[in-house]
């Protein structure tokens, strides 16, 4: 007889409703493919007045989370509340009660994952989070299983659909940032307050998870340098095109003894696979020492893709429940392992610099002299005619590889020139 796995959901928003729909509508398919029956027994939410377009007949609905904790029949709890609290307290209580937990909560795993993994280990259960990065893209499973034979060398991720949609519209239609953002909000790709997306924080949460998986120990989210896309202009988009690049908000993870982690807009060569990832789609480019280059591509958010990823975690957990394997698996990420990180000053990059300067002779030579003082050589330069009404002209430089520390020192000195406007934009080139 097929083993019956009884499931509870806390949070009946967009994602929670999607999980419920799969469990209720795809039950026979799941049983056929897994040899397990999945029964959605109880759902917890604070608002039961809202129409969710789902028939929950036969499913207990409540506002009391203790209904999940105290029910010995419920073996797996799906958390789709989001945010840190009350999600953290709920997940921790569930693990302490010996419940397996599945979550799509990227902020929770990035900021509280270390404590939650320790809790899971202490109580012999597992915490799964496939849907926390990349929506329906199976990147977590691929890193922990499909690429297990590899030491991961690099990860480059387009992992925020909002920013990618905005940048795509700026590149393809010539929209300015504000207009592209308004369009993204109108289409539901951006929140009313888009700060976490366009500021890079969302991508940094996801990078924390990917890097922790690749390194086998939790990395410190607070140590990741983060820059968003709000300072980009159509001028920068057009310069990038002229140089043969596409600007993408990239989450970067590079291994060289220590981890080099950061999130920032990056000039990606137009012929690279990542340059062709457009609109709200996500992609994660992973290089392993044996497999070489791989890329995972697909929808990074949305009810159906995220719910699909959550159910894949349910199935993985269900295979071990009620069998001799019913013990906590070896931790996906060792909560005791320390992962050393490079500071941003220690790494090197090629740079894109956009400056506005007075239209006077000899200015470019003085800027180049400061860069040379700090060992930074220029590979390309473009200077346009007067731009705007203040007699300033834009100058764009591409540099050869240089240290972040040298570039910071050079920019600090360049900003002291009276003929340079303070709004200098520095971007990195993909490498």
Q: Which residue ranges make up each domain of the chain?
A: 3-134+303-320, 139-299, 345-429
Residue 161 pLDDT: 95
Q: Is 327 left (phi over 0), alpha (psi -120 to 50) or beta?
A: beta
Residue 222 pLDDT: 94
Residue 390 pLDDT: 66
Residue where the block lists tokens 């280059």: 293
Residue 322 pLDDT: 64
The CATH number assigned to the domain with range 345-429 reads: 3.30.70.260
Q: Which helix (H) or strand (E) holds 429?
A: strand 425-429
Residue of 206, 241, 337, 415 with catalytic role? 206
- Whether the CB-CB separation of 87 and 105 falls below 8 Å is answered with yes
Residue 327 pLDDT: 47
Fold match, 3-134+303-320 / 345-429? no
**Can 206 be counted among the known catalytic residues?**
yes
Q: Domain spanning 139-299: which CATH class is it, in words?
A: alpha beta
Nearest to 39 by CA among 1, 85, 75: 75
Q: Could you tell me whether strands 3-10 and 36-44 are parallel, antiparallel, or unpaired per DSSP bridges?
A: parallel
Tens digit of pLDDT per residue, the chain (431 long)? 578 999 999 999 999 999 999 999 999 999 999 989 999 999 999 999 999 999 999 999 999 999 999 999 999 999 999 999 999 999 999 999 999 999 999 999 999 999 999 999 999 999 999 999 999 999 999 999 999 999 999 999 999 999 999 999 999 999 999 999 999 999 888 889 999 999 999 999 999 999 999 999 999 999 999 999 999 999 999 999 999 999 999 999 999 889 999 999 999 999 999 999 999 999 999 999 999 999 999 998 889 999 999 999 999 999 888 665 444 555 678 888 989 999 988 999 999 999 999 988 899 999 999 999 999 999 999 887 655 546 789 999 999 999 999 999 999 999 999 999 999 999 999 98
Choose which CATH entry (1.10.357.10, 3.40.50.300, 3.30.420.40, 3.40.50.720) describes domain 3-134+303-320. Answer: 3.40.50.720
């Amino acid at each position: 007889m097929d083993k019956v796995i009884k499931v509870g959901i806390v949070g009946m928003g967009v994602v929670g409703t999607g999980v419920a729909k799969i469990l209720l509508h795809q039950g026979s398919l799941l049983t056929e493919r897994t040899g397990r029956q999945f029964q959605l027994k109880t759902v917890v939410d604070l608002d039961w007045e809202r129409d969710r377009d789902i028939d929950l007949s036969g499913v207990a609905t409540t506002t009391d989370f203790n209904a999940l904790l105290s029910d010995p029949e419920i073996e797996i709890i799906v958390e789709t509340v989001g945010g840190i609290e009350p999600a953290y307290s709920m997940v921790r209580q569930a693990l302490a009660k010996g419940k397996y937990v599945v979550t799509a909560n990227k902020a929770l795993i990035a900021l509280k994952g270390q404590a939650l993994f320790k809790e899971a280990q202490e109580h012999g259960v597992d915490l799964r989070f496939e849907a926390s990065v990349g929506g329906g893209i199976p990147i977590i499973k691929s890193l922990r299983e499909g690429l297990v034979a590899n030491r991961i060398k690099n990860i480059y991720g387009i992992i925020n659909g909002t920013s990618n949609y905005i940048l795509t519209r700026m590149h393809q239609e010539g929209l300015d940032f504000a207009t592209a953002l308004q369009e993204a909000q109108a289409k539901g790709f951006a929140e009313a307050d888009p700060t976490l997306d366009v500021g890079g924080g969302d991508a940094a949460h996801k990078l924390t998870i990917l890097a922790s998986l690749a390194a086998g120990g939790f990395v410190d989210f607070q140590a990741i340098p983060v820059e968003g896309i709000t300072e980009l202009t159509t001028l920068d988009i057009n310069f990038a095109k002229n140089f043969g690049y596409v600007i993408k908000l990239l989450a970067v993870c590079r291994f060289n003894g220590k981890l080099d982690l950061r999130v920032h807009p990056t000039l990606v060569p137009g012929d690279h696979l990542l340059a062709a990832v457009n609109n709200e789609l996500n992609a994660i480019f992973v290089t392993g020492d044996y497999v070489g280059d791989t890329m995972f591509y697909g929808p990074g958010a949305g009810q159906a893709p995220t719910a699909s990823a959550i159910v894949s975690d349910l199935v993985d957990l269900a295979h071990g429940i009620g069998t001799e394997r019913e013990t906590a698996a070896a931790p996906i990420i060792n909560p005791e392992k320390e992962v050393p990180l490079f500071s941003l000053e220690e790494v090197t990059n090629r740079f894109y610099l956009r400056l506005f300067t007075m239209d006077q002779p000899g200015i470019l030579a003085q800027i180049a002299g400061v860069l040379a003082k700090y060992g930074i050589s220029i590979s390309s330069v473009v200077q346009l005619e007067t731009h705007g009404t203040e007699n300033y002209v834009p100058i764009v430089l591409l540099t050869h590889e240089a240290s972040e520390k040298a570039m910071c020192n050079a920019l600090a000195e360049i900003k002291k020139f009276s003929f340079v406007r303070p709004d200098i934009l520095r971007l990195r080139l993909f490498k």
